[in-house]
Structure 1
Amino acid sequence: MNATQKSFPLGINLPQQAAGQVVNILPTGDVIVEYQQRGWQCRVAISCLLSPQVGDEVLICGDDSQRLWVLAVLSRSDEQQTVTLSVPGNLCIAPQGELTLHSAEQVSIDSQSVQITAQQSDCHIAHMRYSGDELTAWVNVACLLGRRVEALWKTVVQISQRVLRKVEQAEHVRVGQLDCQARDYVRLHARNTIITSQAITKVDSEQIHMG
């Protein structure tokens, strides 16, 4: 009977702490780091918020469980490459003081949903453009101040219990057809009143008082 031969892996001393270069990123999220002409498979530690990219110089460290971890990204060969902060779960930034985001060029937010809650908000934008499919706003009091407003709509529907409009100089209305209906009474008063018509002018009532 042939004796069974057992094979044992060669002992490899894992680096306790060293700097290496990322040469590959696996689909599982692990990275291959080249150190001392050998490729080491490392997991990315949660403390390493900066996602490693191929070519980065990273700090790796081994633990007692024979696992290697990427602790930090030390340098990046391509400084123009986008820097990504990545965490496996949710991320909460909670400073005790103020939080300021500053960018020399542009700030972009891309998400399925954005929720903002604050007691008070101040927004100053020199030029603003908004585009979307639907806009809904619920406010108790709305105040708009400006020098000029222009609105172009296909259909305008306005429902209110009371409307007060005051024009200091002149108001011009140009419509195809004008239909005004009041449930109680209509009052037109001016120093001079002119009513003209090209075809027919009709006044119909049970009583007509003139003079």
Structure 2
Amino acid sequence: MAYALPVEEPGGTLDKGTVMGVQGTALLVMTSQGVVRAGRAAGCLLAPRAGDGVLTAFLPNGEAWVTCVLTRTDGEAEIELPDKTTLRGRELSVESESTRIVSHSISMKGTVLSLGGGLLLQGFAAVQTAACRVGERISRKSGCYGELSEQTDGLDERRAGRMRIESESSYRLRAENADVRAQAMLDLDAERIKVG
């Protein structure tokens, strides 16, 4: 706990001061009463640093607390929240030119989750998706995989205006029943064709 010089007023006072230094959780603040050692109030979310203009509360028991940061010389800021913090609001909006989130674990829940942007870059060691239904509308999709394995328990149906499959070494199609139909022409071109 931080202590300052005794004050005569029974209700305590507020004084504007300047942070001279930070020592762990304690702040050295130059006030009208001189340099005092003050604690940071829980409601002071903006972490004070040297050079900041702050409002310091002096309590009758001799404690001094920095209640808020009044001025800062540059545009940088750090907000320190308690270990467990909840933000509540009917509508919450975060706007910035650039946003960086670093976390050990991120959980997002919502009735509707919407992501939009010019470019989406993903880099994961593993991705797991569990969904009842996934709908995609993509003008162009390209991917490069070291290995791709897909399994469909029900119906796997693909429709396309044109479809082309290229394989550098071998292509194998196995099925209990296979139905290949072409309305106009079916072209099989190979050095050897084995049937049966």
Is the 2:19–2:29 Cα contact (8 Å) retained in structure 1?
Answer: yes
Alpha-carbon distance change, 47 to 201 in structure 1, aligned in 2, over 3 angstroms:
closer
TM-score under structure 2 normalisation?
0.83
**Percent same amino acid at aligned positions?**
17
**115 and 193 in structure 1: CA distance in 2 versus 1, 3 angstrom threshold:** closer
Q: SS of 1:24's equivalent?
A: strand
**In the alignment, residue 107 of structure 2 is paired with which amino acid?**
Q
Tell me the C-alpha RMSD between the 2 structures. Answer: 2.2
Q: 1:59 aligns with which of 39, 51, 55?
A: 55
> Alpha-carbon deviations, 1:65-86, whole Å to 9, x = none?
2111111111112x23x21122
From 144, 149, 156, give the equivalent of 2:141: 149
Q: How many residues align?
A: 186
User: What is residue 84 of structure 2 aligned with on the other side?
Assistant: 90
- Structure 2: how far apart are the matches of 1:193 and 1:59? 83
Structure 1 stretch 39-48 or stretch 160-169: which is displaced more?
160-169
Q: Is 1:121 matched up with 2:113?
A: yes
Residue 188 to residue 92, structure 1, CA distance change in 2 (3 Å): closer
Confirm whether residue 132 of structure 1 aligns to residue 124 of structure 2.
yes
Indicate whether 1:17 and 2:14 are aligned. yes
Partner SS state of residue 165, structure 1 = coil
**Are the counterparts in 1 of residues 17 and 55 from structure 2 also a CA contact under 8 Å?**
yes
Distance 1:117 1:203 in 2: 53
Mapped pair 1:182 → 2:179: no
- CA separation in 1, counterparts of 2:88 and 2:165? 55
Is the 8 Å Cα contact of residues 55 and 66 (structure 2) preserved in structure 1? yes
State the 1:58 CA deviation. 0.9
Following superposition, the deviation at residue 178 of structure 1 comes to 2.2
Q: Flag structure 2 segments of 5+ consecutive residues without an equivalent.
A: none
Residues 114-151 of structure 1 show CA distances to partners (whole Å, capped at 9, x for unaligned) of: 11111122222122212222211111111111222112
Q: 1:44 aligns with which of 40, 46, 51?
A: 40
Structure-2 change in CA distance of 1:194 and 1:93 (3 Å): closer
Q: Are the counterparts in 1 of residues 15 and 32 from structure 2 also a CA contact under 8 Å?
A: no
Q: Which whole-Å deviations, capped at 9, do the CAs of 1:98-123 have from their partners, x for residues lacking one?
A: 121122x2122222211111112222
Give me the whole-angstrom Cα distance separating, in 1, the residues matched to 2:178 and 2:81: 67
* Structure 1: gaps spanning 5 or more residues: 1-11, 205-211
**Larger-gyration structure (1/2):** 1
| Structure 2 counterpart of 1:4 | none
- In 2, the alpha carbon distance for the partners of 1:88 and 1:171 equals 56
**Aligned in 2, Cα 1:33/1:178: closer, same or farther, shift over 3 Å?**
same
